[in-house]
Amino acid sequence: VCTETYTVFSPQLRARGSTEAVEDDVAYERWIPADSSQSEQVVTLDVPPDGPFSYDGEYLKFRWRVAARRPRDRGLDAVRSREIRVLP
């Protein structure tokens, strides 16, 4: 999963005491199905050729993470994730 975080500047925000707001969007997301009968999974992950690399700018950021999700019968799914760096 790659999340894009960016700053939006707008005079309309001045009423709230600021002219900028921070927004998040998913830039890339792909979920690979796994065999739930196996206690351990091995997968190969490829960064898409047109996907952004990790970037941590003042007004724009691209952050990548690998996440594993396990469905539960009740409540929220169990999720574990780890941030990774994608080099240019």
pTM of the model: 0.74
Are 27 and 2 in contact, with CB atoms under 8 Å apart? yes
Query: Bridge partners of 82?
Result: 66
Higher pLDDT, 19 or 2: 2
Query: Bridge partners of 86?
Result: none
Collapsing DSSP states into helix, strand and coil, what is residue 16?
helix
Domain range annotation of the chain? 2-84
Are 11 and 71 in contact, with CB atoms under 8 Å apart? no
Which residues have C-beta within 8 Å of that of residue 44, sequence separation ≥ 6?
Answer: none
9-54: per-residue pLDDT in tens? 877 766 666 677 789 999 999 888 877 788 788 888 888 999 899 9
Task: Return the pLDDT at 83.
Answer: 95
Residue 4 scores a pLDDT above 90: yes
- CA-CA-CA-CA dihedral for 37, 42, 44, 47, to nearest 10: 80
d(CA 2, CA 66): 9
